[in-house]
Chains A and B, each alone.
Chain A
Amino acid sequence: AQSVTQPDIHITVSEGASLELRCNYSYGATPYLFWYVQSPGQGLQLLLKYFSGDTLVQGIKGFEAEFKRSQSSFNLRKPSVHWSDAAEYFCAVVPWGQNFVFGPGTRLSVLP
């Protein structure tokens, strides 16, 4: 079945540590790819997107993501996490001719 998966429901990292959040999709053709962040009590904010071209994309707040076609993945990374990064992160895709499909989300906790 076509879907977007985020294997980690909850991740805890220490402040200053590196972060990688995983996202995998199962669609025949490469969809448009997105990462959104939802801070507590807030709406979703776009971190970055990939449509085509360079497979390493830079976003806001120091985040980056790498598209790997062979693995159908679009993992989000940050080299050094700040306490303010604690939030829920959603991977989303737009398959060809369809609307947004969101993953289930990964909740990030940051230890001081």
Chain B
Amino acid sequence: EAQVTQNPRYLITVTGKKLTVTCSQNMNHEYMSWYRQDPGLGLRQIYYSMNVEVTDKGDVPEGYKVSRKEKRNFPLILESPSPNQTSLYFCASSCQGSYEQYFGPGTRLTVT
């Protein structure tokens, strides 16, 4: 089954404790992206990747890192999480140029 998976689905952590949210897709998509969803703001793009070893900042990259060492994986790293990063995070992927993004189920992160 074609899908985008994210782990963990729920995470509660404390300020400053490094964490990684994993994202994996099995559709051989070139393009992958991370979004955060906050009430009244819709989805805002954090980082995206056009292919392996090619990443770029989205609209709200501060406080986040990403890497793309393999085509299927695109982890999101919070080196020193802060409470303002409490949000719902979505990973998405698509074929290059198709613009039809497939979304993962989301990761709800709470930073206390």
Contact = CB atoms under 8 A, between A and B. Distances in A.
Interface of A: 4, 9, 32, 34, 36, 41-46, 49, 51, 90, 92, 94, 99-100, 102-105
Interface of B: 4, 33, 35, 40-45, 48, 58, 90, 92, 99-101, 103-106
Q: From DSSP, what is the main secondary structure of chain B's interface residues? A: strand
B99 A102 contact: no
Nearest to A94: B99
Q: From DSSP, what is the main secondary structure of chain A's interface residues? A: strand
Contact of A46 (B35, B90, B101): B101
Interface centre among A4, A32, A36 (most CB of B within 10 A): A36
14 contacts: A32-B99, A41-B105, A43-B4, A43-B104, A43-B105, A44-B92, A44-B101, A44-B103, A45-B103, A49-B99, A94-B99, A100-B43, A102-B43, A104-B41
B42 A90 contact: yes
A36 B48 CA distance: 19
Given A43-B106, A99-B58, A9 B40 contact: yes
